[in-house]
């Protein structure tokens, strides 16, 4: 799948490459091929698309929440990148999968794992990256807050 700006992604691959060149601990990003990088940016953009941002869409029935009646903030672009790299880090994490499936504990023989009862809102659970949550928070309509 190829990135089409504002049709399936909020950021171009070129912009993401520039972001990760300056970001510490981005080695995993550069180990990926172009197709997987595009898939990650599209997936992260679709996750951002679930939020209710301030302002109004430029056209009715546009596929993504942006463009809006203001330029796409750098914070949103950065948040897409942060969520994309967090997807790499957490995509195979069994504990994340268990928590997302509302499993509160697991016992294996004499060992057990208990997951804290996270009081996260539905909106907060949409993103893996706490940095992405922080970056988009000021651009969200009032009504819910990301922690």
According to DSSP, the residues that pair with 68 across neighbouring strands are 57
Once rounded to an integer, what is the mean pLDDT over residues 107-122? Answer: 62
C-alpha closest to that of 77 among 142, 26, 144, 14: 14
Residue 45: C-alpha distances to residues 8, 29, 138 (Å):
7, 16, 17
Q: Which residues contact 10 (CB under 8 A, 6 or more apart)?
A: 45, 48, 49, 64, 66, 72, 76, 77, 80
**pLDDT tens digit sequence for 32-89:** 999 999 999 999 999 999 999 999 999 999 999 999 999 999 999 999 999 999 998 8
């Amino acid at each position: 799948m190829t990135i089409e700006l504002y049709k399936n992604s909020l950021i171009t691959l070129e912009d993401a490459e520039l972001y990760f060149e300056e970001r510490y601990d981005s080695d995993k990003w550069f180990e990926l091929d172009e197709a997987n990088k595009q898939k990650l940016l599209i997936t992260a953009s679709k996750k951002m698309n679930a939020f209710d941002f301030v302002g109004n869409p430029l056209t009715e029935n546009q596929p993504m929440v942006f463009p809006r009646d203001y330029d796409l903030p750098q914070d949103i672009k950065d948040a897409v990148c942060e969520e994309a790299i967090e997807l790499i880090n957490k995509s195979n994490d069994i504990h994340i999968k268990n928590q997302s499936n509302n499993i509160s504990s697991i016992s294996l023989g004499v060992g057990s794992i208990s997951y804290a009862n996270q009081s996260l809102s539905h909106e907060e659970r949409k993103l893996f990256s706490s940095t992405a949550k922080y970056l988009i928070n000021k651009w969200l309509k009032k009504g819910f807050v990301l922690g």
